């Protein structure tokens, strides 16, 4: 990492070298003193700390547009979730039925936003290195930019597989390498390098959780090693299962990488900087932002103030007070009302079936026979826990929290054969949830705990892909759903169901269609999303395309 002290190092080297040469042979020509590197013409160097800060803050803007986009891309593509945002030719519903193309706006949005953030990070890293600011300021700001670059590449490699590595602002270098897909290992190596290099310049911890910290970097590193250590599918491996409905075989783990993951997770847990909140429901809401469980978040001030606002608040929870309007996004089946036992304290905010509003007090039944169970973690509530009638978009998006670190620890330990340590981590979460401890742990138990703890936190698709259980999960679960049954596609049979509301047949028929399409359409190529078009539907020229697209 370039520092201003580099110039002092060069001068010391030159002085000692010239003395050495002179003492050996006075008649020899002294070596030529290297020139100080010229500032590239494409860089504009910040002159003040405020300018440098503004440059680095620019890396967050693209990420502020992605809150609900994660849900539409990552949740809707699984068995848990359906999307009714618009007609069935709209981007969200097309993901919901696994009819995804390079022109899908959500695939486009995430891919291009991450690269805009990376481009701004590259510019900040290079420009600030040439500035005359003091070392402490430079190190912090460059570390923040490298943190976000590493974070962004981690997201990209998980979603799209092999992607271009753009690490410079040089237009010629971007033109030469910007469309070249790099191997999975190369991208993960860059993720690790960026996050590791950021550690020296970052504070251990920051009270403002949208600011990168050492412990946030270690958290993402722990997840990256956990994923990399389970050997993500390569382009060739996806090609081999492109049309298959059978998951690829899971290879032996990379033990060294999972050991790294476990060690980093333990560092974060044992740091004492974070804690599992006694009340699971206290994690959520504007009043609880920056709480002791949050490790890294994207800050939102609302529409018209930040880049977009956190649209989880209304996309994941539409429409308050009008249960007869189709939700933008919701759970896929009534069975999710019972996925957790009633005494599990996580259930109330994870799966919402009845919401009370204030001013005036009304009850909204978001379940049979009017609608379908909704995710409740992102909705705005008052002090009594009642949902507000309006859902402003100013709630921070939590990207990583301590609950997930316990799951990372449990998974790494489990696959390393340390069931005792894995159980300790799992039971810490179950204690907080108020449910009995596990005395043994199967791989299915482990997978359930991820779903129970992180329901609708945009991790489920990533988990299924990492475990290589994506196809089998959709193909075995969806046909067991209540709304998959033929009665929800036949109006006469529907009207004969207990408590059925004839006015809601079209809604439940659409749910049934989406569930059947998931089963019909899913194939091995859905283990990654297509390399999308650019903003404005321009072909980015990145080849080859992912299989099946």
Whole-angstrom distance, CA of residue 238 vs CA of residue 220: 25
Which of these ranges, 141-155, 224-238, 367-381, 525-539, has the smallest mean pLDDT? 367-381
In the predicted structure, residue 3 carries a pLDDT above the cut 70: no
For residue 44 the two structure tokens come to 């504009």
Q: Which CATH architecture has domain 38-549?
A: Alpha Horseshoe (1.25)
CA distances to 81, 342, 484, 529, 539 from 335, rounded to whole Å, are 12, 13, 11, 28, 42
Whole-angstrom distance, CA of residue 83 vs CA of residue 71: 9
The strand pairing partners of 203, in sequence order, are none
Sequence ranges of the domains in the chain: 38-549
In the predicted structure, residue 2 carries a pLDDT above the cut 80: no
**Positions of E strands within 25-172:** 81-83
Phi, psi of 333 (to 5 degrees): -155, 155
Residue 14, pLDDT score: 23
Phi-psi region of 246 (alpha: psi -120 to 50; beta: other; left: phi over 0): beta
Distance, CA of 99 to chain centre: 22
In the predicted structure, residue 389 carries a pLDDT above the cut 90: no
Q: How many CA atoms lie within 13 A of 11 on its CB side?
A: 5
Coil, strand, or helix at residue 265? Answer: helix
Q: How many CB atoms lie within 10 A of CB 544?
A: 10
The H or E element containing residue 127 is: helix 105-130
Residues 339, 341, 346: CA angle, nearest 5 degrees: 85
Taking the alpha carbons of 376, 378, 384, 388 in that order, is the dihedral positive or negative?
negative
- Percent of the chain whose predicted confidence (pLDDT) is above 70: 91
- What residues contact 301, with CB distance under 8 A and at least 6 apart? 309, 394
Whole-angstrom distance, CA of residue 187 vs CA of residue 164: 8
Residue 11, pLDDT score: 22
The strand pairing partners of 364, in sequence order, are 355
In the predicted structure, residue 31 carries a pLDDT above the cut 80: no
Inter-axis angle of helices 49-57 and 135-160, to 10 degrees?
10
Q: Cis check for the bond before 319: say yes or no (omega within 30 of 0).
A: yes
Calculate the dihedral angle through the C-alpha atoms of 153, 154, 160, 163, rounding to the nearest 10 degrees.
40
Residue 381, pLDDT score: 84
In the predicted structure, residue 392 carries a pLDDT above the cut 90: no
Q: Residue 131 in contact with residue 49, Cβ under 8 Å?
A: no
> Helices (DSSP H) in 60-104: which residue ranges?
67-70, 91-96
In the predicted structure, residue 128 carries a pLDDT above the cut 70: yes
Interval 285-297: pLDDT, tens? 999 999 999 999 9
**End-to-end Cα, the chain, rounded Å:** 39
- What residues contact 170, with CB distance under 8 A and at least 6 apart? 40, 42
Whole-angstrom distance, CA of residue 505 vs CA of residue 494: 7
Q: How many CB atoms lie within 10 A of CB 209?
A: 26
Q: How many CB atoms lie within 10 A of CB 205?
A: 16
Whole-angstrom distance, CA of residue 362 vs CA of residue 376: 17
Residue 320, pLDDT score: 56
Whole-angstrom distance, CA of residue 81 vs CA of residue 96: 7
Q: Residue 82 in contact with residue 511, Cβ under 8 Å?
A: yes
Residue 390, pLDDT score: 78
Calculate the dihedral angle through the C-alpha atoms of 374, 80, 403, 113, rounding to the nearest 10 degrees.
-90
Q: How many CB atoms lie within 10 A of CB 319?
A: 16
In the predicted structure, residue 22 carries a pLDDT above the cut 80: no
Q: Cis check for the bond before 544: say yes or no (omega within 30 of 0).
A: yes
38 DSSP assignment: P
Whole-angstrom distance, CA of residue 478 vs CA of residue 485: 10
- What residues contact 502, with CB distance under 8 A and at least 6 apart? 494, 495
Residue 120, pLDDT score: 98
Which of these ranges, 213-217, 356-360, 376-380, has the smallest mean pLDDT? 356-360
In the predicted structure, residue 82 carries a pLDDT above the cut 90: yes
The H or E element containing residue 449 is: helix 443-453
Residue 360, pLDDT score: 67
Residue 359, pLDDT score: 66
Q: Residue 438 in contact with residue 391, Cβ under 8 Å?
A: no
Interval 421-445: pLDDT, tens? 999 999 999 999 999 999 999 999 9
Phi-psi region of 96 (alpha: psi -120 to 50; beta: other; left: phi over 0): alpha
**Positions of E strands within 71-145:** 81-83
């Amino acid at each position: 990492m370039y520092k201003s002290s580099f110039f002092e190092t060069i001068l010391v080297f030159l002085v000692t070298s010239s003395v050495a040469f002179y003492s050996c042979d006075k008649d020899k020509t002294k070596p030529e003193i290297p020139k100080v590197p010229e500032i590239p013409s494409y860089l504009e160097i910040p002159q003040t700390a405020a300018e440098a800060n503004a440059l680095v803050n620019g890396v967050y803007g693209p990420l502020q547009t992605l809150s609900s986009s994660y849900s539409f891309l990552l949740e809707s593509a699984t068995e848990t979730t359906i999307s009714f945002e618009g007609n069935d030719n709209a981007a969200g519903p097309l993901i919901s039925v696994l009819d995804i193309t390079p022109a899908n706006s959500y695939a486009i949005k995430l891919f291009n936003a991450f690269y805009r953030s990376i481009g701004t990070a590259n510019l900040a890293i290079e420009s600030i290195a040439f500035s005359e600011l003091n070392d402490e300021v430079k190190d912090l700001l460059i570390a923040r930019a490298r943190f976000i670059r590493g974070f962004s590449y981690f997201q990209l490699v998980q979603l799209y597989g092999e992607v271009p590595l753009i690490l410079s602002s040089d237009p010629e270098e971007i033109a030469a390498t910007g469309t070249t897909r790099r191997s999975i290992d190369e991208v993960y190596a860059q993720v690790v390098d960026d996050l590791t290099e950021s550690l020296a310049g970052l504070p251990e911890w920051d009270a403002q959780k949208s600011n990168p910290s050492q412990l946030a970097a270690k958290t993402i590193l722990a997840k990256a090693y956990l994923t990399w250590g389970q050997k993500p599918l390569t382009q060739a491996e996806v090609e081999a299962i492109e049309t298959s409905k059978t998951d690829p075989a899971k290879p032996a783990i990379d033990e060294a990488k999972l050991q790294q993951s476990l060690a980093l997770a333990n560092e974060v847990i044992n740091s004492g900087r974070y804690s599992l909140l006694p009340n699971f429901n206290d994690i959520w809401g504007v009043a609880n932002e920056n709480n002791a469980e949050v490790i890294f978040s994207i800050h939102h001030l609302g529409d018209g103030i930040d880049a977009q606002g956190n649209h989880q608040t209304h996309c994941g929870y539409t429409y308050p007070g009008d249960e007869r309007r189709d939700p933008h996004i919701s759970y896929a089946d009534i069975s999710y009302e019972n996925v957790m036992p009633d005494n599990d304290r996580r259930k109330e905010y994870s799966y919402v079936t009845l919401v009370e509003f204030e001013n005036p007090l009304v009850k909204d039944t978001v379940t049979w026979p009017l609608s379908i169970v909704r995710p409740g973690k992102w909705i705005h509530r008052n002090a009594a826990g009642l949902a507000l009638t309006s859902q402003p978009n100013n709630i921070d998006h939590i990207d990583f929290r301590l609950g997930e670190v316990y799951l990372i620890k449990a998974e790494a330990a489990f696959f390393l054969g340390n069931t005792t340590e894995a159980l300790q981590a799992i039971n810490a979460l179950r204690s907080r949830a108020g449910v009995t401890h596990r005395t043994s742990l199967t791989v299915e138990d482990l997978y359930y705990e991820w779903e129970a703890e992180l329901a609708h936190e945009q991790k489920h698709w990533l988990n299924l892909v990492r475990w290589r259980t994506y196809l089998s999960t959709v193909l075995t679960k969806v046909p067991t759903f209540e709304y998959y049954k033929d009665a929800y596609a036949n109006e006469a049979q529907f009207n004969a169901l207990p408590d059925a509301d004839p006015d809601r047949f079209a809604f439940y028929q659409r749910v049934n269609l989406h569930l059947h399409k998931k089963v019909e359409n899913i194939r091995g190529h859905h283990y990654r999303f297509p390399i999308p078009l650019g903003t404005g539907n321009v072909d980015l020229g990145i080849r080859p395309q992912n299989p099946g697209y």
